[in-house]
Amino acid sequence: MSETSENYDAIAKVYDDKIHSGYREKIQDQIVFTTLDEIIGEGELHILDAGGGTGHYSLPYAKKGHRITILDISSKMLEGADSNARAMNVSNLVEIIYGDMSNTSLPDESFDFVMCHLALCHVNGPLLALQEFHRILCKDGVLSLIVENKEFFSLRHAFLGNLDQALKNQMKEKLEIELSGLGTLRTFRREELLSMLVKTNLKPMKIIGLRILSDYLYYQNREPPKDLESLK
């Protein structure tokens, strides 16, 4: 069992309440789901949620009639996904798979859409995972990818008044961070990620920054505006 699977097994029962409950997360969800709705739309697609955990981002699309496969290395998180699917009455459209996104053993060109949201940070070989996504995507398939941004995790120290640490992190070629309960996470530079996409023949369609203003307010210990829409 890996450190990542152990960490997520340990927080699985409280994961949804802990990770998806704050105002920053609500803003993020509004942006993510609006963007996904534009691409996925109605109809029946086969969607892979890689590192999907409890199915927070994918299960709502089972409610819309899409077939969902949730892949994760945490058995406890997958138990949460199964429980959520049953609560939403969509178990007939959801497949739960325990496995590694860098080596899925799934058939070639078997998915119309792959989402990997805040999970690539845990993969030892992110390029291998992207190559795997390209392999299992259909010819005109789409990948939705959310990663931890290196520039932000450098600048957040400046928000807290520690300019020296912010500069040190900014100068590092590779930055890993520790987040409570989640362990060690790898961050990505925009140019680095775009280079990986080129190497795997994945072409960027849209690039969006998430939680830029809301995270600034959070680390400044300032109250968000009553109108959260203004922070999108």
From the list 176, 158, 186, the residue with the least C-alpha distance to 51 is 186
**Across 60-78, average pLDDT:** 97
From the list 99, 169, 115, 172, the residue with the least C-alpha distance to 147 is 115
Please report the pLDDT score of residue 218 as a whole number. 57
- Order of strands across the sheet that contains 111-117: 94-98, 67-72, 46-50, 111-117, 137-146
**Across 203-218, average pLDDT:** 72
What does the pLDDT look like over 144-159, one tens digit per residue? 999 998 888 887 777 7
pLDDT-based confidence at residue 231 (cuts at 50, 70, 90) = very low
Domain extent at residue 60: 3-148+189-206
Q: Report the range of poorest mean pLDDT among 5-9, 59-63, 177-181, 222-226.
A: 222-226
Separation between Cα atoms, residue 64 and residue 173, nearest integer Å = 42
3 state DSSP class of 201: coil
74 falls within a domain: yes
141 falls within a domain: yes
User: Considering the chain, what is the average pLDDT of its residues?
Assistant: 87
33 falls within a domain: yes
Please report the pLDDT score of residue 221 as a whole number. 60
Q: What is the domain count for the chain?
A: 1
110 falls within a domain: yes
Q: Which residues contact 9 (CB under 8 A, 6 or more apart)?
A: 1, 74, 75, 76, 77
**Across 202-215, average pLDDT:** 77
**Across 121-147, average pLDDT:** 95
221 falls within a domain: no
Find residue 111's DSSP bridge partners: 137
If residue 50 lies in a helix (H) or strand (E), which one and from where to where?
strand 46-50
**Across 106-126, average pLDDT:** 95
182 falls within a domain: no
Helices (H) and strands (E) in the chain, counts: 10, 7
pLDDT-based confidence at residue 208 (cuts at 50, 70, 90) = confident
Structure pTM? 0.88
Look up the CATH number of the domain holding residue 19: 3.40.50.150
Separation between Cα atoms, residue 47 and residue 66, nearest integer Å = 7
Alpha carbons within 13 A on the beta-carbon side of 132: 20
184 falls within a domain: no
Q: Which residue matches tokens 């105002």?
A: 23
162 falls within a domain: no
What does the pLDDT look like over 31-48, one tens digit per residue? 899 999 999 977 799 999
